[in-house]
Chain A
Amino acid sequence: MTLVVKNLHAIVKETGEEILKGVDLTVPTGEVHAIMGPNGNGKSTLVSTIMGYPAYEVTSGSVTFDGEDVLNKSVTDRAKMGLFLGMQYPAEIPGVKNVDFIRQAMNATQPDDQPVPVMQFLQELDAAKELLQMPDDITDRYLNVGFSGGEKKRNEVLQMMMLKPKLAILDEIDSGLDIDALRIVANGINHMRTPQFSALLITHYERLLEYVKPDRVHVMVDGRVVQSGGPELADELEKGGYAKFEQLRKDGVHE
């Protein structure tokens, strides 16, 4: 269940502006990777493109998951393959109860299309809510409507825990969280860690990675991964900032 991104180029459909300029990235099964980098350098575009967000268009390169082409699949089918994107700005859906949605999503992503028994579903839901310290009525509310920033993030993690994807991509799941909430969310992610589960975390800050230890850290600047390394790379970034890597990127252009 390895995710392989090869020389991926993508543009914004509406403007034609190129955001991804040849991304190479591999996330093997069972590993947790983090992508760091300054704002506006393509991190969110990369993960949105992997999930199939319609505003972006791939112009060249490939994305495969477990050897299967991802890019020729619909958004729905990508989810059914076991990909999950915890979004930075999840949509608000009035009139659709959180609990009904999670149940339908869970049934939709079951490998054999077998619906999950109601009791089992409710037990799992209660357990996940407890772990994430979410109020009991959060699932009776309309999906993301009137949720605070922190509640939205937790609700993304709640969905991840319920859907049990093979690869969870979490786009700035730590932004806007206070330290307690960050710990709780990290706890939820760590709870998922098994040899069959991989994760890709997008973050600006090293703080999340103190709680969720990554196997690899990648630095993304100007639409490319400019450096990859172990968890110590995150510390280095925390101390030295991104300047060095921006320089690396410039040097790369001259090559």
Chain B
Amino acid sequence: MNQKLLELVQTASQGQPAWLQKKRQLAAMMLGDLPTDQWQTPLLNAWQATPTLTVENEQANGQSQDYVELPIFVAAEQYPELLQENLMEKAIDWQASQINALHLAFLNGGRFIYVPDNTELSTPIELQYSATGCNYHNLVIVGANSKVTIVEHVTAQSNQPSFLGTELLLGDTAQVNYYQTNSFTANQNWQAVRSYQAGDSQLNIYAVLFDRHNLFADFHTNLDGDGSTADFKMVGIATHDQLQEINTRIDNHGLHTNGEILQNGVVKDQAILNFHAVGKIYKGSHQSVSNQESRLLTLTPASHGEADPVLLIEDNDVNAGHAASIGQVNPDQLYYLQSRGLTLMEAEILLTKGFLLPVIEKFPDQTLRQQTIDELLKRLGVQ
């Protein structure tokens, strides 16, 4: 056990509820016993070499009568039962890996959002803040029969690797549209969005992966309740020497659950963009559906990517399918566009836009769709 690490965490968690102090210290103590891998190592090393243990209790953007939004450490005091039971327990399990445990032990801030049962919000909840430390965690609980749109836009400002974690817990028949577009400063970052869904709940995730730094992303939902559905749509761009490792997984546990993944990405220069998608239908999850579609467009010969859809089917009475493609840019398309006076770069930008737009156009909120297109143009250097 690393005594110095434990002391650091003890100091950082002073003044917090006893249960949270204990949990964070336990995470530090157990660190060495938990599994790790090549993706986690650089972040684990950087954080331990230069620990950032500031605690942020910045107030949330707006206060509402309809729902609760609080800094995560404030929420730990005000809603101890909810946090004790749910914080890194059901969706992002703190004991699952070293990086999860250290994320908890070194937690700097984040938000707690609680939408009570039977609440329908007409305007999106904006989950937006600047993250100056390395580890931020959002816990979102949406009660039964509630309907909300949440927009996560966290700006990670640390030069140390950042880990932005979000847990989404959906009650029976809850409907959540979750948009995410985070940006980072450090060269190597981590992002996890994990969810747990009760019966007939519906989670739609729209993830925009336009950041310019190396990223390991982990999207994962558990369709636990019967009739729950998850629909993930994501667009990504990787350029220069960037590496984006995008993992997406939907686990069907309940009866007649439905999981859909659609992801399109464009890779340029020497960049790498990998889409690893897993759909697992557990035994007993009858009449469930798992579909995935991953498409990559490589613009330059040195750029590359993988799209490896995996279906793990344990039940017989299911419907599952996958499609994947990695295509180089079609020279006839480039020629056609150039023959109308567009430069090679303009033609590439148009093809990139054209490749991602069919996914973006499926985003239901018109304002967010337009924002995503604007972000895309900005990412491509057009605006």
Contacts and interface: CB of A to CB of B under 8 A. Distances in A.
A157 interface: no
B215 interface: no
Contacts of A79: 338-341
A203 B228 CA distance: 60
Contacts of B351: 93, 96
Highest count of chain B CB atoms <10 Å: which of A52, A80, A87, A108:
A108
Contacts of B346: 104, 108
B5 interface: no
Interface in A157-182: 159, 163
Contacts of A163: 340-341
B339 A51 contact: yes
Nearest to B331: A54
A159 B330 contact: no
A90 B339 CA distance: 11
A242 interface: no
Interface string B325-346: 0000011110111111111101
Contacts of B29: none
A94 B358 contact: yes
B354 A93 contact: yes
A109 interface: yes
B350 interface: yes
Interface string A94-105: 111000010011
Contacts of A108: 340-343, 346
Contact of A93 (B337, B338, B343): B337
A138 interface: no
B341 A93 contact: no
Given A95-B353, A96-B351, A142-B354, A85 B339 contact: yes
Interface in A90-139: 90-96, 101, 104-105, 108-109
Given A94-B358, A95-B355, A95-B356, A101 B350 contact: yes
B266 to A, nearest CB: 11
B357 interface: yes
Contacts of A58: none
A228 to B, nearest CB: 27
A74 interface: yes
A75 interface: yes
Given A95-B357, A96-B351, A76 B336 contact: no
Interface residues of A, number: 28
Interface in B333-383: 333, 335-344, 346, 350-351, 353-358
A76 B344 contact: yes
A93 B336 contact: yes
A53 interface: yes
Majority secondary structure, B binding face: helix
A96 B354 CA distance: 5
A81 B357 CA distance: 32
A85 B337 CA distance: 11
B296 to A, nearest CB: 14
Given A91-B336, A93-B350, A96-B351, A76 B357 contact: no
Given A54-B331, A54-B335, A76 B353 contact: no
A109 B344 CA distance: 14
Contact of A109 (B331, B341, B358): B341
A215 B370 CA distance: 51
A105 B332 CA distance: 17
A109 B332 CA distance: 20
A101 B358 contact: no
Nearest to B338: A75
B343 A76 contact: yes
Contacts of A93: 333, 336-337, 350-351, 354
Contacts of A53: 335
A75 B354 contact: no
B332 A80 contact: no
A230 B26 CA distance: 94
Nearest to A159: B340
Contacts of A101: 337, 340, 350
A141 B145 CA distance: 39
Given A54-B331, A91-B332, A95-B357, A76 B350 contact: no
Given A76-B344, A94-B354, A163-B341, 9 more contacts: A53-B335, A76-B341, A84-B340, A91-B333, A93-B350, A96-B357, A108-B341, A108-B342, A163-B340
Interface of B: 330-333, 335-344, 346, 350-351, 353-358
16 contacts: A51-B339, A53-B335, A54-B331, A54-B335, A74-B338, A76-B338, A76-B344, A87-B336, A91-B330, A93-B350, A93-B354, A95-B354, A95-B356, A95-B358, A101-B337, A109-B341
Task: Identify the 5 closest CB pairs spanning chains A and B, nearest first.
Answer: A95-B354, A108-B341, A105-B340, A79-B341, A91-B336
